[in-house]
Amino acid sequence: MRVLVTGGAGFIGSRFVRQLEARGADKILIYDNLHPQVHGKDAIPPTFGPKVEFVNADIRDATQLKAIVANFAPTAVAHLVSETGTGQSYDEISRYVEVNVSGTAYLLEAIRALPRQLDWFLLTSSRAVYGEGAYVDSTGQHVSQARRFGTDMSAGRFQVYGRDGSALTEVPSASVTTQPDPLSIYASTKLMQENLVDNALSLTSTRLLVYRFQNVYGAGQSLINPYTGVLSIFIARLLNGLPIAIFEDGEISRDFVYVDDVVEAMMLGAMSAVVPRRPMDVGAAVSTRIYDAAVTLAKLAGKHDFAPSISGEFRPGDIRHAMADISYTHSLLDWSPKISFEEGARRLFTWAAESIKK
């Protein structure tokens, strides 16, 4: 098993590489440009064992990518390289399209030029493709592709409303039941990644493993990237005595899933013989208010009377609620998340506090 891992020096990718090492991969090639927004200036790749080779290269360099893929001749590929900031994507459209869409296209062309088909191709996608996700109305009727509008939010109406003007109730989203409805540039590029992979490889013998992640967090995530990792941003502010402001009316919620649980789902797919017929949702299957998450972290920092402020501000592309229905993923992989938010928050806080001290 020779595995190419794009983005293998990152938060999720480096853990996945170490699991591949531990579970029998013969050779692993990491393709990563150590982007300073994520890794900082003068970054160096993580330390791995003798099975792992690292190449510092950009996914947008089609010529170099094709040559490296041809020389390494992978039997499997995990594609994790991605620009991931919802807010940033609104302002940097071409960058997100070039990395997420064109980069994926270059990778697929390089794979199609190999003399043998891959055993599996793994893509890390996002719950962002669902947009606002799944809701039900006052009668219990399922409502798909619900949207919020700038005029409502400017007036302080942040809930998701039905056509009759009444507030809808959020329910878990899943690829089995929820139609994609991307509401940000980032989300649109992730859905395009899924479509490209399916179109390019679905008629081959390659097993396609597409994962739609909820909010992944944990020890090791970037503490300097202002566009991702809201929990690490909160921790940095708490430790520096800075205030925390929650957007909208304080009722925004997310499904926070710990990185080790995410990597285990990836490994179960890669190491099994399952052939998913649709993307697999990966989350904690629990919706946590951002406000409550901030309070939990504040208590870990010893600030038991801390109360975040409510800003009333909102960002283009942000969604109201998120929670995964993981039943399809569980049925395929016998996978369930093991780490509670309280335990995961403690691990993240402990690691971040030590890292910031350094």
Positions marked catalytic = 186
CA distance 290 to 255: 10
Handedness of CA 325, 331, 332, 336 (dihedral sign): positive
Coil, strand or helix: which one is 202? coil
Helix (H) or strand (E) holding 29: strand 27-32
Beta bridge partners of 233: none
Q: What is the DSSP string of 282-315?
A: ES-S--EEHHHHHHHHHHHTT-TT---EE-----
CA distance 336 to 30: 28
CA distance 260 to 337: 9
How far is CA 171 from its chain centroid?
Answer: 20
The 10 Å CB-count burial string (b at 16+, else e) for 78-96 is: bbbbbbbbbbbbbebeeeb
CA distance 270 to 169: 36
- At 298, give phi and psi (nearest 5°): -60, -40
